[in-house]
Amino acid sequence: MMNQLVERAAKQVVRAASWNWKPNSRLILYGDNAGWSLDWDMRELANITRRLGVRLARPYWKHAASPQSIFFASQFFLTQDDWMRFLPHRIGFSYFHGLPNTGDELLDNVYKKLCAHHDRITRIQVSHTQMKNVTLETGIDPSKVFMIPIGINLNFFPLRTDEQKNIMRDKLGIPRSAFVIGSFQKDGVGWAEGLEPKLIKGPDVFLSAVRLLKKDIPELYVLLTGPSRGYVKRGLEEMGVPYKHTYYKNYPEVAGMFSALDLYMVASRQEGGPKAILESMASGVPLVTTRVGQAMDLVHHGENAWMTDVEDFENLAALALQVYGLGADSLQPILKNARTTAEANSYDSQTQLWGEFMKGFVETA
Residue 216, SS3 per DSSP = coil
| Per-residue pLDDT tens digits for 101-129 | 888 898 999 999 999 999 999 999 999 99
DSSP string spanning 146-212? EE----B-TTT-PPP-HHHHHHHHHHHT--TTSEEEEEES--BSSSS---SB-GGG-HHHHHHHHHH
Q: Could you tell me which residues are beta bridge partners of residue 307?
A: 289
| Greater pLDDT, 324 or 32 | 324
11-151+348-358 and 162-344, same CATH topology: yes
Closest by CA position to 68, among listed 30, 31, 19, 26: 26
Averaged pLDDT of the chain: 93
- Residue 283 confidence (pLDDT): 97
Task: Please name the residues in contact with 239: beta carbons below 8 A apart, sequence gap of 6 or more.
Answer: 207, 210, 211, 214
How far is Cα 180 from Cα 223, in angstroms, rounded to an integer? 7
Instruction: In whole angstroms, give the CA distance from residue 365 to residue 363.
Output: 7
Of 5-9, 33-37, 94-98, 268-272, least confident by mean pLDDT is 33-37
Q: Please report the pLDDT score of residue 310 as a whole number.
A: 97
Q: What's the average model confidence in pLDDT over 13-17?
A: 88
- Kindly list the domain boundaries of the chain, sorted by start residue: 11-151+348-358, 162-344
Rounded Cα distance, 262 and 217, in Å: 12
Ramachandran category for residue 246: left, alpha or beta (phi over 0 → left; psi -120 to 50 → alpha): beta
Q: 124-136 burial string, b = 16+ CB within 10 Å, else e?
A: bbbbbebbbebbb
Say which CATH class 162-344 falls into: alpha beta
Residue 252 has a pLDDT of 84
pLDDT at residue 13, rounded to an integer:
86
Whether residue 73 contacts residue 32, with contact meaning beta carbons closer than 8 Å, is answered with yes
Fold of domain 11-151+348-358: Rossmann fold (3.40.50)
